[in-house]
A and B are shown apart, each in its own frame.
Chain A
């Protein structure tokens, strides 16, 4: 069991899916219960990862490596490091909470709905665990189909348009990424005489800069569309607005992280020369900053509650990519933490929209107002989610944004200055949203009788709230988990960075 823990984590949802397929479709409650058991089991086994993870060990842990398609050099190769550990934990937790949150909101085609969620869960976990590029690509594509159906079948009025747009955009990016992968694969054959997709072997490659740049841009299209970075973000608001609540939660919390994860895991270590090429770094940082500001400004003027949260994702993910391309330990560690934070806080925000939507069937902000009087508990939860998203100290968002800004400041002060504006705008649209919906008198009589959070809804929020406070108050374990992998990546991309840093410190001390 111990040697195959990662496979168990990966395939638990698949086992749940397989059993689910044999349950009678008419017994909705049985299906709901089973889906919740499967989701919870998926989270429970992933807790074992925490127990067995050694944060002091460098490199990948709990590695599993078996030949899969030997004639193509493809391996079933899984492994985990601090970065993927955090993202896997986020996936299993949010994946389960999404299933729990769907209990009453989904009444039609219940069986297919949960089947799609469990299948998608396998794909997402697989993306974060794969260390073989072929395997990674397979999981990467596997995720698309369930999400297409979640949006396209259970979504809002323009669901079909949103679903196919999501599919086409991400597919176009990922097939170009495939060409990049195949280029690396072939280059490895040219230099070492055998074919492999093993990323630790591909790291040995020494390619000319121009080739690395081409591959970088191919990867960039795959990852940037997924993140989504400005100007590839246009699929995101459509997909989010039309998706059912739980679909939005998973989309925002986990799916988008596949893109940022791709940058950290593949673009930087495999293409170090291209990754520090000044032109590329500046372009990507500029796109990130534009994304931060643009996302925030567009959020400010949204009439639709859910669309506002969707655009805020563009802004927050801008921070994540900015942190990555600051290319220093603070930036990258901050970026990973911010990815988790975004998963927690935006997940909560989408759940919050979903709760009123389920009760009132509208997301127009002006339909609401003064909900704090009617739903006091709800307004408290919303306040926590909002503050966490806005980056208030003692909550998780602050830790991530602060660290990223530190990294950005170190890399380029102008970047930090622009990004800080994003924090201010972020606070503006979130507080304003809160004010318009929660505070003041109840303006709309339809809102007078709205029930407050029920027990199940509390159960969905509670783990996220606890996690938000944990990261906000005591982030040290997270930084410890991230230290080794982040150091490795920085060392790989900027060899001598730490030696230079040490020399710099010594020089400073001696001057004093």
Chain B
């Protein structure tokens, strides 16, 4: 029991170890094996290998849980826990990281910034995400968060020659550091309350106090600032549009999907863990934040002319919807959070993928006008983009509807009728700005005759995300079941 590193610890940690190992290996291989810049795309094979090992570890853990009939495996004296929740989110991270690696090589070559460390950063960020989803200790979680965030600060500024990218990275770094400060302050207060950093002990200690206890309130308020910043909820969303626009599009996709899913996993761990007893305290808070996020996100998106900014605002509104699942707080709501993040992964990645695919030497492809006449140039991309946008808006039979379905149902079940009405009406607002892109693609004259010449990786990734968006929409059964196993109890 007192051994420093038991076999259980090893079993639990295997996916993270693989990610860290291969992440570092990529850095080494970059200059040892592939000194030629043109060969760097083969680094993806290493990424794939690392992800395969990571996935194997996850699969072993998953089958262990299923065969033993236990809910969780804990390691390191309860600092890291593998449960359905952690496994579910880790699969999302794995898919995201793999797709982002696949689409990156051509894009970065065009940008002239194709370096091996990019793939290393992706895997290390994913390693941080692993701890965000499976950490059950304040310190572990915080380190996971910082590991992820530091990788992202670098990746957002990856286009060293571009002002915008640098500015975005700086902004993201400063605000991110600031919010981390808040978060860690909240954690220190929690430690003061409980005398322990284990989420379970903290939860027990918080439950002993009155909900109106000022210490709990302080811890909640400060921790919430940090957490809501990470999921880019209003009023802590200001960084998102700039960071999304400035970052290389592939990184934007990773940021919008991977970082958001990981931050939500973190947020759920904290709110359903230590703050579970203070529910009546944070529920009104999250309600206000969710409504504000949907309002600001949807209304600000209407006027955007840059697709990446538009998707940034739309992702703010999606954060609002996901928070509503937490506000409802019943099992449907928690399933909703999981299902929503799952479908969000595919549809949002898909939308960014199309933007990536449009990138050519002379065309950035991130303005709404760059989509003009896409239907004539390359109908495949236009139709896929249509599917992704419909799904983002939540129109059946696409995956996005299933995500929204759970959120709406959970609101109805818990009697939040007004919230439900607000949430559904913003669907109609959302369709307006998503269809500005659709209108451009289908009804306007071509912006250029040249069809986008995408890489093999982009085509594979597009096929995958498009298929997933449709399949989850038409036959959601297995995915719903998967999400049901992930509910934290």
Contacts and interface: CB of A to CB of B under 8 A. Distances in A.
Given A70-B477, A71-B477, A164 B424 contact: no
Contacts of B409: 182, 185-186
A176 B421 contact: yes
B488 interface: no
> How extensive is the interface on chain B, given as a class?
20 to 34
Interface stretch (A28-36, A135-143, A274-282, A499-507): A135-143
B481 interface: yes
B392 to A, nearest CB: 14
A137 B408 CA distance: 14
Given A164-B432, A168-B428, A138 B439 contact: no
Contact of B480 (A72, A152, A153, A171): A72
Given A142-B397, A145-B390, A168-B432, A71 B481 contact: yes
Contacts of B425: 172, 175-176
A23 interface: no
Contacts of A183: 412
A176 B412 contact: no
Nearest to A111: B379
Contacts of B170: none
A186 B420 CA distance: 14
A470 interface: no
A160 interface: yes
Contact of A182 (B408, B428, B442, B476): B408
Interface in B351-389: 375
Interface string A378-410: 000000000000000000000000000000000
A350 interface: no
A26 interface: no
A138 B476 CA distance: 13
Interface string A171-187: 11001101100110110
A72 B395 CA distance: 18
Contact of A179 (B390, B424, B484): B424
Nearest to B473: A138
A414 interface: no
A160 B439 contact: yes
A71 B481 CA distance: 7
B389 to A, nearest CB: 11
B429 to A, nearest CB: 8
B480 A69 contact: yes
A183 B414 CA distance: 11
Given A179-B412, A183-B412, A172 B395 contact: no
A185 B411 CA distance: 13
Best-surrounded residue of B412, B413, B421 (most CB of chain A within 10 A): B412
Contact of A186 (B396, B412, B484): B412
A183 B409 CA distance: 8
A153 B443 contact: yes
Contacts of A497: none
A144 interface: yes
B427 interface: yes
B477 A182 contact: no
B435 interface: yes
Interface string B394-405: 011100010001
Contacts of A145: 390, 395
Given A175-B425, A182-B408, A167 B431 contact: yes
A399 to B, nearest CB: 37
B396 A138 contact: yes
6 contacts: A69-B475, A69-B480, A71-B484, A72-B480, A171-B431, A176-B424
Given A142-B396, A175-B428, 7 more contacts: A70-B477, A72-B480, A138-B396, A152-B439, A178-B424, A179-B408, A185-B409
Interface of A: 68-72, 112, 137-138, 141-142, 144-145, 148-149, 152-153, 159-160, 164, 167-168, 171-172, 175-176, 178-179, 182-183, 185-186, 214
Interface of B: 375, 390, 395-397, 401, 405, 408-409, 412-413, 417, 420-421, 424-425, 427-428, 431-432, 435, 439, 442-443, 475-477, 480-481, 484
